[in-house]
Structure 1
Amino acid sequence: MNHAVDPAGFGFTFTDGVARVRAGELTAADAAELLVKQLRDDELLWLLDGDTPVRALRTIQARMRSGPITAGALPRLGIPGIRFSDGPRGVVMGNSTAFPVTMMRAATWDPDLEERVGHAMGLEARARGANYSGAVCVNLLRHPAWGRAQESYGEDPVLTGQLGAALTRGLRRNVMACVKHFALNSMENARFKVDVAVDEHALHEVYLPHFKATVDAGADSFMSSYNAVNGAFLDVNRTLLTDVLRDEWGFEGFVTSDWLWGVHDAVASLDAGMDVEMPLRALRARELPGALRAGRLPRETVLRSARRILATTLAHAATRDEAEPAADVVAAPAHRALAREAAVRGTVLLRNEPAGGAPLLPLPATTRRLAVLGHLAAAPNLGDHGSSTVRPPTTCSPLEGLREALPAVEIDHLDGADAAAAARAAAAADTAVVVVGLTHDDEGERVMNDDPASLRVLGFPFTVPVLGRLLGHVARLLVRYGRGGDRASLTLRPRDERLIAAVAAANPRTVVVVIGGSAILMEAWRDRVPAILLAFYPGMEGGRALGDVLTGRAEPGGRLPFAIPTDAAHLPFFDAEARRVTYDAWWGQRKLDRDGHPAAYPFGFGLGYTTFDLELTGHRVSGGDGAATVRVRNTGTRAGSTVAQVYAADADAPRPVPQLIGFRRVELAAGAATEVTIPLDLTPTLERDPTTRAWARRPGTWRILAAPHSPGPVDGAPLLVTG
């Protein structure tokens, strides 16, 4: 119902607006207009940046941990402002549930599970006072060296889009969902200064579709990234923020900046479509009042952003779940169980060769002695220590999880510093479990910005003494939060590889559990051990999830959301300190396929404790979507799950490159079969006309096939038929 705007603006509060929008008496836009009419110019400008003063910069991390960071709160009219909380693996405030990192949840290939995780995160954020969550990170993994790979959903646009949309839906029941980092943000060390050159094809057909998927799922807000695209930093990039996001996609929410260094020009960023500078009263607080008075900033530009912010906030408050979550929902038993479920479903079994006549995993009931080796075995190791850090009330390490799962088994633990001692312990055990991998010092958010040009946003002169004090403070942060940044190597540390070699030589029943945020090259050792598990950063219940998987109480349900190559040279060139890079359409599995390099483990790969057959039995396609029917049969001896994946490939290409167009997780009892319908996203087979913005089928002979992972050759697969 769209009533005319009530002319009696005075006395109309935010609470009034929420009630009238919920009752259908006003639209959110009309209610926002009633509020805007009552605001003085200084109050309008107050909406356009964070409420935290610059002098509080040193305490911003502590403020993030203690409660939401507010922007645009105006108590006079009851306007709560946007009340922000990160992050991708749980709520950063207080002691909240630490879920597995986003990349591990991507490995579940389970949008329904991800929506449940989003709902839990939204409940916990709201219970802590937030109304706005920055948990939805859908930047593509273009190279596994990216330090914040763990915060993303992997290398594929369709998988990323579906999971990002699911998290968005789950969050929005309680908090506004902010999608980040828009766009082409997949480097860490140079994120404040790098300019990404990209052509129309790669931009619209590869790097943006997953962002569009979150808009279609109802995303309330976007966060602009630090980097530039085609010569313009994102806060002033009208092409992306207005022409694409709003005009082409129809997005009606508001855009915030990435934090501290995300605004380069106060007036130009507002004009381009970046609504809120976060989290401080910094560049805009200093420059917008004078610009408005002098006429350099049109008042209508200010009103446009004010209306977006208030209308979105009103609409959310009127449509979110009405019940207020109780404080005890935070890290509640149900959320801990959900974190454990996600860790089990995201654990990827890469290798499970026979040892003594049967696959090594799950561990046999006859196991009496276990050697658990490696310095990470006794560590919770939750991942990055930057803005996404979650501090759960408890954690469970791999060692603790195995001791809990196997109370009758004698378990010896050594940190692996002495490889010979570890080998002796392994030789005396029935099975050896080696836990190796990365930590927040190897990868993660790089909290240090050493680019003096960007520091002007703070507003005071950076003389040598002042800069020295600031950098000293940053150095202390590095000690506290870890070095982070982009990875210097794609392999394990040499000491870890030496430990694996020594233990494998001493005990042929060796399991290697790898911790890390994305692909880790394993060529030096993967053929020496019968079993390999990729456990990512598995969250607060990760140790218990590992116990479930190793004992066979649950199967490892994960499938790779990226390809693991055999050689780093098969990946795109990566310069962590680059000032300018070119992003094309070739990385990950698609680059391996195009160049004829077999993966060590292909995109979508993962083993279970049973086996499956997949058969494509039919499909229908119309325009950009459709559906496929796949018959799935459990050919093994125990219940289990698989992910039925549907790919399309242009058979006319010199080397056809299969593209994921749909997937569905399927669970079946031993010997059971079913036929499932899988919705298709045909975007990878389409191209966009840059002039008309119309999408049409890309030329070629397109074939469709179902497979348990990226399939390689497509000869003989059925034609992808439209109609």
Structure 2
Amino acid sequence: MHVRKAAVLALVLSALSLPALLPPATAASVPKDPKPSDTAEARIEALIARMTPQEKAGQLSLYGPADINTPNNPQAGWRNGQQETEDVRTGRITGLFNNAGLEGKRRLQGIAVRESRLGIPLIFGADVIHGFRTIFPIPLAEASSWEPALAERTARAAAVEATADGFRWTFAPMVDIARDARWGRGLEGVGEDPYLARQFAAARVRGFQGSNLANADSMLATPKHFAAYGAAEGGLDYNTSEISERTLREVYLPPFRAAIDAGALSVMSAFNEIGGVPSTANPALLTGVLRDEWKFKGFVVSDYTADEELIEHGHAANGREAAKLAFMAGTDVSMQSGLYMRHLPDLVASGEVPMARLDEAVRRVLRVKHKLGLFDDPMRGLDGPPPEQRMENPAFIALARESARRSVVMLKNEGQLLPLAKAGPQKIALIGPFSEGTKDLMGSWSLFPGQSAPVGIDEGLRAALGTEASRLTVTRGTNVESPLPGGIDAAVAAAREADVVVLAIGESQKMSGESRSRSDIGLPQAQQDLAEAVAATGKPMVVLLSNGRAMALKGAVRNARAILVTWFLGVQTGHAIADVVFGDFNPSGRLPVSFPQTAGQVPYYYAHKRTGRPSPESAPGTSFKTRYLDATNEALYPFGFGIGYAPVRYDQVELSSDRLAIGNTLRVRATVTNTGTREAEEVVQLYLAQRAASVTRPVRELKNFRKVRIAPGASEVVEFTVGNDDLQFLGRDMKPVVEPGEFDLWVAPSAAGGIRKRFVLTRE
């Protein structure tokens, strides 16, 4: 029986443990943490030799704070304060997460290092997703900047603030690819494209961890959720991900590899299953890919009670079996369930879990604690003033404003309606449920005390207008999801008195995020009704769309003269929006996700396959083709799309040759001209597609991009190189291959259109 299981496992591992299609070292210039010194290793081995199985299991058990009851969340492992203290004193816990406040952390760390038998320090973790005290735009919004360096800076700022509150470990970045807009958790990630996601994954790891994990302001980064959590069927959170190994390796794994190459030393397992095996108990993923292929040296932590949920998956019969399956698959640390503490000692005693496996997991955790400097100075970061006594950092507030305005994407601006004039007689009616106040501006995962209140949209517009603020009227019109008595009548009256309407609509921050899947990704009907009524006045309308996902726009919203996607922009929301609306900042954001025409198109992504019967562009009504009866196949607004106040023209694309030998480099030069009167900031994108290959390829794939500034009337020459790394794909044997053939190349402002060139790849 055991022989058969071992043989099956070997086959599974051999099937998945092949070289993945991944970039060369994504962050080769990033300082790597040195290997533990001989002294550190000796210290760790000495501790392991002294530890009981119970103490070893304790180093692999992580919990949320005691006496905190999160409504509707699984309460496994919940403890009161007295039990928590005793767990620390007896070495039954490795650390805590999301436990706000320095006083409690100081007390517990003191117990751990002075009263426990071995004096091993605790690690304090937190969900620092898009800021700690200073809340920055949600990650999906920040991805719209197409500036990984900006994400690195905001992650660095978040780490500085969080470590001042004693947190040394963050459960971020989320690097899941999200191609189904119904999945609410896409707001934590970078969108639909693996190349863009790789750049941001590496940047955020560098930002959180800094130049050296031992620095007092460095946080251990945790790319999550491993793996393919974003591929949940139906966009339904926690659901099964039914995907092929090819899709897993080509689309969902590369951002994780980029994060690990950038130095991440912890990885969080995912809630979902793939091919009948939940990720938290999947040895092919957690051991085969992470350890055997990628040589990952850190530790794997389960998501919240994910090990215990193996029972509900139907993969484990009880908690004991769930602990064994998760641990033997490669999940080193159990979050919240308490299963490892309850069952690992007995599993080791019975011989079902080798002591060597237990020791290796503990070794991984202790090594990371050592790298963080916790053994040398366990009270580091715990000796500062409480958050309410800290001064707001003006540099971080300025960074929040910069990040927020760079995250805004302008989709439409008919007749140059925007920017609005700050001076003059023009009357502006700001209408909608997001028009006033601070609610719903932060987005999900703004958890911790001491945060500054966000700047409301009305506040931002008034501040920008200054002495002319009387030109602005504010009318709510409706609630987010329900009508407001008399609201539409008041909004229509305000619109009639104005020269231009700014309509602030969208999702509440509770409509997107974890467990916030939506079957309808349009606006709530109450807001659609408001938009239709206001549009009927005939006044020009600017839509400000607050959202955490791509949305299906219709009617008056879709037909508005100007549309700005403002996402959830964080603490500087109002000022950032005013900067764009009044033209103090030229919008430069580009979509990291495709906006579908209808909800029925999702999951929708630009890098799809052609099929054997593609719908012809010249005859969209042709029968017996891959097409809908009631909509075209194109996006309403494609991936990479966005416009600014200065029109840009793509003049010409030149290739160094129309033939390229495998192993050589093709040089690409594109001329981009600013035909406007303001400076332009353009994201020039490079796409490739192989026309015929042994494995069918997407219609196009992003391979590079450059964000360039172009003076009014000037031209900028943008250069790219194309080499083997850009041309390779996974062959039929799941190994990277470069095949000769014809390629299409686009230099484009989005995943649709652009200037196309052709070249031939040859063997010699």
Q: TM-score, normalised by structure 1?
A: 0.80
Q: SS of 1:42's equivalent?
A: helix
Whether 1:129 aligns to 2:187 is no
In structure 2, C-alpha distance between the alignment counterparts of 1:622 and 1:40, rounded to whole Å: 57
Matched residue, 2:606? 589
The question of whether the paired residues in 2 share the 8 Å contact of 1:628 and 1:678 is answered with yes
In structure 2, C-alpha distance between the alignment counterparts of 1:680 and 1:405, rounded to whole Å: 45
In structure 2, C-alpha distance between the alignment counterparts of 1:157 and 1:106, rounded to whole Å: 12
Matched residue, 1:361? 419
Which one-letter code corresponds to 2:465 in the other structure?
Answer: L
Which one-letter code corresponds to 1:604 in the other structure?
Answer: G
Matched residue, 1:207? 252
Q: Deviations over 1:683-721 (max 9, x none)?
A: 674333575x63112675222221111134875444578
In structure 2, C-alpha distance between the alignment counterparts of 1:568 and 1:146, rounded to whole Å: 12
In structure 2, C-alpha distance between the alignment counterparts of 1:82 and 1:677, rounded to whole Å: 46
In structure 1, C-alpha distance between the alignment counterparts of 2:666 and 2:358, rounded to whole Å: 42
Please provide the CA RMSD for this pair.
3.6
1:308-327 equivalence runs, <5 A: 308-317=364-373
Q: Deviations over 1:453-488 (max 9, x none)?
A: xxxxxxxxxxxxxxxxxxxxxxxxxxxxxxxx2013
- Cα offset, 1:674, TM superposition: 3.5
1:509-528 equivalence runs, <5 A: 509-526=540-557, 528=559
Which one-letter code corresponds to 1:497 in the other structure?
Answer: Q
Pair 1:124–1:227, CA change in 2 (3 A):
same
State the number of aligned residues.
642
Q: Deviations over 1:164-197 (max 9, x none)?
A: 1100111011111101111111249997863322
Mean CA deviation greater in 520-529 or 510-519: 520-529
Pair 1:622–1:548, CA change in 2 (3 A):
farther
Q: Deviations over 1:475-514 (max 9, x none)?
A: xxxxxxxxxx201311111221222222223243210101
1:434-453 equivalence runs, <5 A: 434-446=503-515
- Cα offset, 1:551, TM superposition: 0.8
In structure 2, C-alpha distance between the alignment counterparts of 1:141 and 1:120, rounded to whole Å: 26
Matched residue, 1:333? 394
1:336-485 equivalence runs, <5 A: 336-354=397-415, 358-363=416-421, 365-382=423-440, 389=447, 392-407=451-466, 408-410=468-470, 411-417=472-478, 418-446=487-515, 485=516
| Sequence identity (%) | 31
Which one-letter code corresponds to 1:230 in the other structure?
Answer: G
In structure 2, C-alpha distance between the alignment counterparts of 1:415 and 1:624, rounded to whole Å: 60
The question of whether the paired residues in 1 share the 8 Å contact of 2:269 and 2:301 is answered with yes
In structure 2, C-alpha distance between the alignment counterparts of 1:425 and 1:682, rounded to whole Å: 59
Mean CA deviation greater in 165-174 or 588-597: 588-597
Among residues 330, 350, 355, which one is paired with 1:273 in the alignment?
330
- Cα offset, 1:571, TM superposition: 2.2
Among residues 562, 572, 582, which one is paired with 2:593 in the alignment?
562
- Cα offset, 1:123, TM superposition: 0.8
Whether 1:486 aligns to 2:517 is yes
Pair 1:62–1:233, CA change in 2 (3 A):
closer
In structure 2, C-alpha distance between the alignment counterparts of 1:494 and 1:198, rounded to whole Å: 34
Which one-letter code corresponds to 1:133 in the other structure?
Answer: T
The question of whether the paired residues in 1 share the 8 Å contact of 2:441 and 2:571 is answered with no
The question of whether the paired residues in 1 share the 8 Å contact of 2:418 and 2:581 is answered with no
Matched residue, 1:659? 701
Q: SS of 1:588's equivalent?
A: coil
Pair 1:272–1:390, CA change in 2 (3 A):
same
Matched residue, 1:553? 584
Whether 1:283 aligns to 2:339 is yes
The question of whether the paired residues in 1 share the 8 Å contact of 2:662 and 2:763 is answered with yes
Among residues 206, 218, 227, which one is paired with 1:183 in the alignment?
227
Pair 1:621–1:34, CA change in 2 (3 A):
farther
Q: Which runs of 5+ in 1 are unaligned?
A: 1-20, 447-484, 573-586
In structure 2, C-alpha distance between the alignment counterparts of 1:622 and 1:544, rounded to whole Å: 51
- Cα offset, 1:254, TM superposition: 0.6
In structure 1, C-alpha distance between the alignment counterparts of 2:154 and 2:439, rounded to whole Å: 20
Mean CA deviation greater in 424-433 or 49-58: 49-58
Q: Which runs of 5+ in 2 are unaligned?
A: 1-32, 67-75, 85-95, 211-217, 311-321, 479-486, 616-632
Pair 1:542–1:383, CA change in 2 (3 A):
closer
1:484-633 equivalence runs, <5 A: 485-526=516-557, 528-572=559-603, 587-591=604-608, 596=615, 597-614=633-650, 615-618=652-655, 628-633=668-673
1:687-706 equivalence runs, <5 A: 687-689=729-731, 694-697=735-738, 700-706=741-747
The question of whether the paired residues in 2 share the 8 Å contact of 1:645 and 1:662 is answered with yes
Whether 1:146 aligns to 2:186 is no
Among residues 73, 77, 81, which one is paired with 2:122 in the alignment?
81
Matched residue, 2:192? 155
Which one-letter code corresponds to 1:442 in the other structure?
Answer: M
In structure 2, C-alpha distance between the alignment counterparts of 1:178 and 1:625, rounded to whole Å: 35
Pair 1:522–1:490, CA change in 2 (3 A):
same
Q: Deviations over 1:130-188 (max 9, x none)?
A: 11111200111121010212111101111111111100111011111101111111249
Which one-letter code corresponds to 1:339 in the other structure?
Answer: A
Which one-letter code corresponds to 1:543 in the other structure?
Answer: G
The question of whether the paired residues in 2 share the 8 Å contact of 1:562 and 1:588 is answered with yes
In structure 1, C-alpha distance between the alignment counterparts of 2:581 and 2:589, rounded to whole Å: 14
Among residues 270, 280, 292, which one is paired with 1:225 in the alignment?
270
Mean CA deviation greater in 696-705 or 245-254: 696-705
Which one-letter code corresponds to 1:670 in the other structure?
Answer: P
Matched residue, 2:18? none
Among residues 344, 356, 362, which one is paired with 1:306 in the alignment?
362
In structure 2, C-alpha distance between the alignment counterparts of 1:256 and 1:698, rounded to whole Å: 39
Pair 1:193–1:107, CA change in 2 (3 A):
closer
- Cα offset, 1:371, TM superposition: 0.6
Q: SS of 2:130's equivalent?
A: coil
In structure 2, C-alpha distance between the alignment counterparts of 1:629 and 1:136, rounded to whole Å: 34
The question of whether the paired residues in 1 share the 8 Å contact of 2:348 and 2:355 is answered with yes
Matched residue, 2:284? 239
Q: Deviations over 1:339-370 (max 9, x none)?
A: 1111100100000011xxx4433446425421
In structure 2, C-alpha distance between the alignment counterparts of 1:393 and 1:290, rounded to whole Å: 49
1:20-99 equivalence runs, <5 A: 26=38, 29=41, 32-50=44-62, 56=78, 64-66=99-101, 76=116, 77-91=118-132, 96-99=133-136
Q: SS of 1:710's equivalent?
A: coil
The question of whether the paired residues in 2 share the 8 Å contact of 1:490 and 1:568 is answered with yes
Pair 1:647–1:58, CA change in 2 (3 A):
farther
Which one-letter code corresponds to 2:430 in the other structure?
Answer: V
- Cα offset, 1:240, TM superposition: 0.5
Matched residue, 1:198? 243
Pair 1:335–1:684, CA change in 2 (3 A):
same
- Cα offset, 1:220, TM superposition: 1.4
In structure 2, C-alpha distance between the alignment counterparts of 1:330 and 1:624, rounded to whole Å: 55
In structure 1, C-alpha distance between the alignment counterparts of 2:166 and 2:722, rounded to whole Å: 38
